[in-house]
Amino acid sequence: MRPFAGPWRTLTALLAVAGPARPAVAYDLDPNSTESVTSIAKNMADDLLSFYKGDEPGHVPGLPPQQYFWWIGGAMMGALVEYWYYTKDDSYVETTKRGLLFQVGKYDDYMPDNQTLTEGNDDQGFWAAAVMSAAEYNFPEGGDDQPSWLGLAQAVFNTQAVRWDESQCGGGLRWQIYNWNKGWDYKNSISQGTFFSLAARLALYTGNDTYADWAVKSWDWMIDLEYIDKWWYVYDGAHIPNNCTDIVPWQFTYNAGVFILGAAAMYNYTESDAWKERLDGLLEGAQVFFRGPNEDIMEEVACESNDLCNVDQVSFKAYLARWMAATIQWYPESYDRLSPLLRASAVAAAGQCTGGANGRMCGSKWSTLENDGTEGIGQQMSAMEVTLSCMITKRDPILTSNTGGKSEGDPGAGGSDIGRSRNGEPPKKDYPPMTAGQRAGAAILTAVVIGLLLLGVFWLWLDETSDKGPVDQMRGLPSNAAAAAAMVPIAGASLSSRESQVMAEKGPGVLTAAEVGTKHVEEPGPGVAAPAAVKRASVARHSKRASNMPLGWPHNPSIRSSVVEPGQSGQSSSGESTRGTDDDEIRPAAPTH
């Protein structure tokens, strides 16, 4: 294919004359030069690893720094797999393998015990995406005593397939796995998308139609509920209490990218016109994320222009770049559409990497052609991956089991850990029956504990100042105990009276200790509910913040004014397309904060 030599030269010139106040450009990327791309990507990878402490003593392999969520670790390991795929530089292979394998959990399904309380389906899905890429690229395996990359991906698929929730909104995955986490009542596109793309890639890699059937099922659900609209825009999600009809209108690059990836895999697997049409539509819809002088520089339109992107959202462009590049491999006809966008974005991204103490750290904004002063894992991943994408046509093809893929599969992987969730509650552990020896040991231990308890009670009652010996004091215990028992009702009545004053409420208020005796507590009038008893929680609840949502969620306005029942509109896997055909309608703009 011909090298692209279009607007990126204009961007290079713009960067050179951006003004005297702007720092010197750290990277002058030539997207047609393998040497230029690999050398710049190497520096970007080094700077990315400067944020990672997982290989250092006292730190945990695979875990990102504390300000990041666990899933970013999986995304970063995936970025390092991509780096190896493009460059074949082994510098970070051992680091990547340790990170990917340390976090697999007891059942090799990326449900580690130290993360499951706050883990979401999308979090698990990003780790699965990393090991699926490792299988497709023949990334070095961990060893005979370690699970295979393909087996890990299959384990995640198996645990998520049983979480498919037909009882609410007609299907789909909830954002969260457990019901105590914020977002349990939300079904979001990224959870569906990571599952959809994983199923599609497993179908392509293994040739197993069961995975393809799940990919079709999840795609149809997205279309029926209009999470993907007639203009092929992919919206963020909707809430279960409203039957998933209150579509949250925010568009993020990774939502579009993950469905582009899955559709490309399905088109490669089926070679059907239907999947080609869907893929072309998604690529057209993703054009909304390209801004700048020539509308060819990637931008996180929901939050970037007004500086509201959080530490998660600044990484999203990495995934769109990664998955658009993979699409070129699976759908070569898309090269002329995607390569100009990726190359222009790469030149702009590399050109603004002028921050940090070393003068080459990358910021989050590319379309402004200036460094915005931010730095972090997301910024480095995004710049590195879009830079690497310039070499996609010079890399090895993405493999399957029939074209040289060597990772051994395990279709039943994760079976001992299926779901790890039953209606949002953690699973009950199944323990084997006790043996006779265990029962005898338990009886002896119980007797010892009771004996120690009685000895402790006696020790508390023992009066060391008394002239009586321990035996004589024991004879007097019954009379002393009776006297103490007689005092219990009196003490209880006094305590009850005090608590009734302190805990009494009027409206939302609670009296403080200083107010007791100075405030008059009114009884509720007719028709007014008595205040509920105040309970103090003894155990802190775990809560995962809405990391991929803009400020104001879950109270964002819906993009609809009427309720649409699943199946009433859109395009299913067997239906005819009606998308983008109403010329009189105005295409909605991507919302920003």
Burial class (CB in 10 A: 0-12, 13-18, 19+), 386: buried
Q: Provide DSSP, 488-511.
A: HHHHHHHHHHHHHHHS-EETTEE-
Please tell me the predicted confidence (pLDDT) of residue 423.
60
Residue 115's closest CA among 102, 129, 130?
Answer: 102
Please tell me the predicted confidence (pLDDT) of residue 438.
84
Please tell me the predicted confidence (pLDDT) of residue 425.
61
Please tell me the predicted confidence (pLDDT) of residue 422.
57
Residue 322's closest CA among 280, 383, 401?
Answer: 383
Interatomic CA distance for residues 543 and 475, integer angstroms = 55
Residue 386 tokens read as 């879009």
Interatomic CA distance for residues 130 and 75, integer angstroms = 7
* Cβ atoms 74, 110 nearer than 8 A: yes
* Cβ atoms 429, 420 nearer than 8 A: no
Please tell me the predicted confidence (pLDDT) of residue 452.
87
Residue 548's closest CA among 291, 244, 334, 235?
Answer: 235
Interatomic CA distance for residues 161 and 149, integer angstroms = 19
Residue where the block lists tokens 């004589």: 472
Please tell me the predicted confidence (pLDDT) of residue 563.
34
Please tell me the predicted confidence (pLDDT) of residue 537.
35
Which residues contact residue 576 at a Cβ distance below 8 angstroms, ignoring those fewer than 6 apart? Answer: none
E strand spans, 241-344: 290-291, 297-298
In whole angstroms, how far apart are CA 507 and each of 372, 504, 528, 531?
Answer: 48, 10, 10, 7
Alpha carbon 487 to chain centroid, angstroms: 58
Q: How many CB atoms lie within 10 A of CB 218?
A: 27
Please tell me the predicted confidence (pLDDT) of residue 156.
98
Please tell me the predicted confidence (pLDDT) of residue 573.
45
Residue 549 tokens read as 């949502």
Interatomic CA distance for residues 20 and 370, integer angstroms = 12
Interatomic CA distance for residues 584 and 587, integer angstroms = 9
Please tell me the predicted confidence (pLDDT) of residue 109.
96
Q: What is the DSSP letter of 346?
A: H
- Please list the rounded mean pLDDT of every run of 10 residues in the chain (593 residues): 44 45 70 98 98 96 96 98 98 98 96 90 98 98 95 98 96 95 96 98 98 98 98 98 96 98 98 98 98 97 96 98 98 98 98 96 95 97 98 96 97 81 58 77 88 79 68 64 53 45 34 36 36 35 46 47 37 46 54 57
Which residues contact residue 164 at a Cβ distance below 8 angstroms, ignoring those fewer than 6 apart? Answer: 171, 172, 173, 217
Mapped onto helix, strand or coil, the DSSP state of residue 187 is strand
Answer whether 0.95 is exceeded by the pTM.
Answer: no
Residue 229 tokens read as 């609209």
